[in-house]
Structure 1
């Protein structure tokens, strides 16, 4: 019970700090320090854990990916790739609401951390001067950016889950497809309930084929990165770097162009947020929280099906990353079953991903809220409702 009280206090401190307008990166670092002391780590161990979080390979990797996304977005915007995506969808689809909902999934085909930062400007342009609240805009960008993460085999969480439970990836993907479809269907009414219908105000007289070609050209850098990952087995960070280099060479960037690119795309605020998230996650491991939580729930004699919800959901909330709740909880949950039950594991995955989606340490949520100047607490509540509908849907499929 003491473990749950401590975790409640840690979450409460984070909520208080963010509500007082303290930078989230700094708030996470301060909360991580409090966590270290609460779990008896001592000053030296706490400082070492913070430093390890700051200087870990994963931190540099994540920071590199996020900065490279900003660089790529800047190039694609300057060279009109993003404009072609938007214009093509506006002419192929028409209604700004459908266009706004379709852009994040296009960007979401590339599973990179903080990808919602990439789609946010496009969603804003698609909505234009139509009167949607900041929270609704943030929800559209955040929610539809992640609809693939249940089943798209490019996402590490999907691959890791299938490996841990020793299920063929194709079978696992097929089992998870209903949740992607459900996420799309649930997201539509929440995003656009009582929003005014509006068509593209500046329709182009070119043919549908012309706009389809333009759309393919617009997303070609993303398709190239996906091709490198699937076919050439190149890490997304390296793939993004190769794409940036290819584009700058293709458009003959000068030293002055590179300087302008760096000034416009580089963000210390983004990097500081990454540091805060990684320090907090590292402290969860070093303090023993991630190890103690499963043991606590097991000793408390929690019903098996409830464990399939509580374990992944809690770890998802604490870490904000799919691979974390899969890696930590799936081996434990699989051991609770006499044989692997794909419905149970799907329920666990959906529960864990719900935790990832509602936590304030999920980078995409923070980026979406910051970009649209939305209230983080209001966005979290808006996301919680459809996530628990998805959990209920997964539960029904499990017990039927």
Structure 2
């Protein structure tokens, strides 16, 4: 027994301390999640969480100063912000140059398969992350689905699922870039370990979403009206014109896919940071498209997304406050005394955060600082938690892409989520088997 301190008091203190640590962290996370569910921008939500966390964790000027300096002076903060800025620049270039529109027309002429187009259109636009970007591929899915017996819910699910197959492997996905920076695991390493899940998502989507009785083409009416005949002839004429200008089709395809492929090669093969690789890609596109200085300046101004960059800065600040507060170290000691594998425990936390927020960025922002402390440099822990977090975000009714797609097709989003639940369930089963085997 310690001198002057009753044994019972020590036992109570030892029991209460873990509960107090968990209560402090959970109260902060609940606040952040509540703000996100009320459509508060992620930057402001994470900033509010940082302030509350600081206030309930023995606030001192030294802790505040250390957190602020770590956020503003660390290179990784500015690397991730630069990377996201260049991503927005690339999206602006491809959109304003007509490359995206030309790519879609070219692929439609070349493939001549509406079922392939149903997967390709949302998948291609999903390569370029943009908030609520599913609305851009929705009209293309609507057009390609005319020959089939698809309900609005079928269309919602197809557009929603194939748009997000890249969440595991596209090195310009914000959540991946942020996860790499927080966990200090090279982006190329994360992509290499999870690229298989992109192919798995594609295969599962094709089997469960693009096959079955509903994809038997509707029988054409025997007596076509003159208007239908005219439209058919017009479509044939357009396809003939595109065939004659096949070089333009190839050019659009190269301009659309080239930057993404080159960026993946630079990150995975040459291990360049996302900021450097994206900067080189954007510079190359400026030269290829022969942009003038005025156009370059306009691109930079239009690509400066203050909300997105503030969000990234706030997330990095939250991580540093969490570290400076000392709560992470106490949480590490607490969790090391449990028998549950850390990766599974953090994965379940990421799954719940994803379901509650519907945001992959929020999943990374909330769970990865804890992963960085509990299992620094552990690729298995990081990828397990990330994949489970993506599953949660995909199953969330709060996911913005799901909401805008449901509004476009006038479909019931909860019915649309039923096939997603099946597909994500299969992916999570494979994650569990992979982890324990």
**Is 1:143–2:164 an aligned residue pair?**
yes
- Distance of aligned partners of 1:213 and 1:234 in 2 relative to their CA distance in 1, 3 Å threshold: same
Q: For 1:135 and 1:65, locate their aligned partners in 2 and report how far apart those are by CA, in whole Å.
A: 31
**Is 1:308–2:343 an aligned residue pair?**
yes
**Is 1:354–2:388 an aligned residue pair?**
yes
Residue 29 (structure 1) shift:
0.2
The answer on whether the counterparts of 2:328 and 2:370 sit within 8 Å (CA) in structure 1 is no
The answer on whether the counterparts of 2:89 and 2:282 sit within 8 Å (CA) in structure 1 is yes
Q: For 2:159 and 2:291, locate their aligned partners in 1 and report how far apart those are by CA, in whole Å.
A: 33
- Distance of aligned partners of 1:122 and 1:44 in 2 relative to their CA distance in 1, 3 Å threshold: same
2:258 is aligned to 220
Q: Which has the larger radius of gyration?
A: 2
1:102 is aligned to 123
Aligned partner of residue 93 in structure 2, secondary structure = helix
- Distance of aligned partners of 1:55 and 1:79 in 2 relative to their CA distance in 1, 3 Å threshold: same
Residue 185 (structure 1) shift:
4.2
1:340 is aligned to none
Aligned partner of residue 320 in structure 1, secondary structure = helix
Q: For 1:69 and 1:41, locate their aligned partners in 2 and report how far apart those are by CA, in whole Å.
A: 37
- Distance of aligned partners of 1:149 and 1:326 in 2 relative to their CA distance in 1, 3 Å threshold: farther
Residue 369 (structure 1) shift:
7.2
**Is 1:85–2:106 an aligned residue pair?**
no
Q: For 1:308 and 1:371, locate their aligned partners in 2 and report how far apart those are by CA, in whole Å.
A: 33
Q: TM-score, normalised by structure 1?
A: 0.67
The answer on whether the counterparts of 1:119 and 1:141 sit within 8 Å (CA) in structure 2 is no
Candidates 128, 134, 137, aligned match of 1:123: 137
- Distance of aligned partners of 1:87 and 1:387 in 2 relative to their CA distance in 1, 3 Å threshold: same
Residue 55 (structure 1) shift:
5.2
Residue 264 (structure 1) shift:
2.6
Q: For 2:326 and 2:25, locate their aligned partners in 1 and report how far apart those are by CA, in whole Å.
A: 12
Aligned partner of residue 114 in structure 2, secondary structure = coil
Q: For 2:370 and 2:63, locate their aligned partners in 1 and report how far apart those are by CA, in whole Å.
A: 25
Q: For 2:268 and 2:194, locate their aligned partners in 1 and report how far apart those are by CA, in whole Å.
A: 20
Unaligned runs of 5+ in 2: 1-18, 146-150, 219-231, 354-361, 408-412
Q: For 2:80 and 2:277, locate their aligned partners in 1 and report how far apart those are by CA, in whole Å.
A: 14
The answer on whether the counterparts of 1:320 and 1:359 sit within 8 Å (CA) in structure 2 is no
Residue 6 (structure 1) shift:
2.5
Residue 124 (structure 1) shift:
4.4
Q: For 1:213 and 1:3, locate their aligned partners in 2 and report how far apart those are by CA, in whole Å.
A: 58
Q: For 2:346 and 2:278, locate their aligned partners in 1 and report how far apart those are by CA, in whole Å.
A: 34
RMSD of the TM alignment (CA)?
A: 4.9
Q: For 1:217 and 1:346, locate their aligned partners in 2 and report how far apart those are by CA, in whole Å.
A: 35
Alignment of 1:1-400 (within 5 A): 1-42=19-60, 45-46=63-64, 48-50=66-68, 52-54=70-72, 56-91=74-109, 92=111, 93-95=113-115, 96-103=117-124, 107=127, 115-116=129-130, 120=134, 123-124=137-138, 126-127=140-141, 139-140=160-161, 143-148=164-169, 179-187=197-205, 204-205=239-240, 206=242, 214-230=252-268, 233-299=271-337, 301-304=338-341, 307-314=342-349, 320=364, 327-330=372-375, 349-355=383-389, 358=392, 368=401, 386-397=423-434
Q: For 1:19 and 1:373, locate their aligned partners in 2 and report how far apart those are by CA, in whole Å.
A: 18
Residue 352 (structure 1) shift:
4.1
Q: TM-score, normalised by structure 2?
A: 0.62
- The number of equivalent residue pairs is 357
1:282-337 CA deviation, whole Å, 9 max, x = no partner? Answer: 222222344333322221x3244xx330035547958607976775455698xxxx
Q: For 2:377 and 2:364, locate their aligned partners in 1 and report how far apart those are by CA, in whole Å.
A: 19
2:11 is aligned to none
Q: For 2:390 and 2:321, locate their aligned partners in 1 and report how far apart those are by CA, in whole Å.
A: 18
The answer on whether the counterparts of 2:156 and 2:402 sit within 8 Å (CA) in structure 1 is yes
Q: For 1:289 and 1:147, locate their aligned partners in 2 and report how far apart those are by CA, in whole Å.
A: 30
Aligned partner of residue 102 in structure 2, secondary structure = helix
Residue 78 (structure 1) shift:
2.2
